[in-house]
């Protein structure tokens, strides 16, 4: 059985960002979070609200003093960075890294740097592989949660996650109901003098019919519109 990768946030600064990263993880089936020297300590009261229900990730999060300690039980360590900083290591896309993690035995850790500066050279030196994405060279700034969700999404492609529930649409209204709506509207328009001049009436009615038959109204929608028309034809109360 393939072990899911461990997400390691190195010196994260804001509890809110840790929570958002946890939310991104759980969206795509990742639950193991490790924190290296979080600036404001741990637990952080700002993380929970930002996680939006991803409490299991935060509750199980482990804290370490160094990257070396956080990855000591891992056989493969990946560093996410858009800057190579002179470090010569294999470079992979998130898709390639996810495929490699699945095909190699042992635990894998994926490192993410602090919000302000990203991973330091010393952090990257502990990794075997760099993970990066093609990005606008003139604006290569990703926030922490965005970076995590890119990796988590690629990992999720190989998981059997449940797709969002499909909501059944109401059946389309019978033609008789639609004809009743059109006739009702035409009656009101005739009484209000809408169809003018008389020689344009057939064309106007065809356009109106085309307009009303396009959407594929369901029964409830037709009833609602009939209710609107009935309200309009009633005399106003003074």
Give the helix ranges, DSSP H, for the chain.
15-27, 47-51, 55-59, 67-70, 94-103, 121-125, 144-156, 175-192, 201-213, 219-233
7 exposure class (CB count in 10 Å sphere: 0-12, 13-18, 19+): buried
- Mean pLDDT for all residues in the chain: 88
Q: Given this model, what pLDDT does residue 217 score?
A: 82
What would the pLDDT profile of 186-205 be if each residue is shown by its tens digit? 898 888 888 888 888 899 88
Residue 199 token pair? 């020689």
Class (C level, CATH) for 6-156? alpha beta
The Cα–Cα gap between 135 and 70 comes to 28
- pLDDT interval class at 238 (50, 70, 90): very low
pTM for the model:
0.70
Residue 1 CB partners (closer than 8 Å, separation 6+) = none
The ranges of the chain annotated as CATH 3.40.1280.10 are 6-156
What residues does 8 pair with on adjacent strands?
A: 34, 111
What would the pLDDT profile of 3-31 be if each residue is shown by its tens digit? 899 999 999 999 999 999 999 999 999 99
């Amino acid at each position: 059985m393939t072990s899911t990768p461990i997400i390691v946030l190195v010196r994260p600064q804001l509890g809110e960002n840790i929570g958002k990263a946890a939310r991104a993880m759980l969206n795509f089936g990742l639950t193991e979070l490790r924190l290296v020297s979080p600036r404001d300590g741990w637990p952080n009261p700002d993380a929970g609200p930002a996680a939006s229900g991803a409490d299991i990730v935060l509750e199980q999060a482990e804290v370490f003093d160094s990257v070396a300690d956080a990855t000591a039980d891992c056989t493969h360590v990946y560093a996410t960075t858009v800057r190579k900083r002179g470090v010569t290591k294999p470079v992979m896309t998130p898709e390639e890294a996810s495929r490699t993690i699945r095909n190699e035995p042992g635990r894998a850790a994926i490192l993410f740097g602090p919000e302000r500066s990203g991973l330091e050279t010393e952090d990257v030196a502990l990794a075997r592989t760099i993970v990066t994405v093609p990005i606008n060279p003139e604006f290569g700034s990703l926030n922490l949660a965005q970076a995590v969700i890119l990796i988590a999404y690629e990992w999720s492609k190989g998981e059997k996650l449940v797709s969002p529930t499909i909501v059944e649409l109401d059946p389309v209204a019978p033609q008789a109901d639609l004809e009743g709506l059109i006739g009702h509207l035409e009656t009101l328009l005739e009484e209000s003098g809408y169809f003018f001049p008389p020689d344009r009436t057939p064309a106007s009615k065809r356009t109106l019919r085309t307009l009303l038959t396009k959407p594929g109204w369901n029964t409830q929608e037709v009833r609602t519109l009939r209710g609107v028309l009935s309200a309009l034809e009633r005399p106003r109360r003074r």
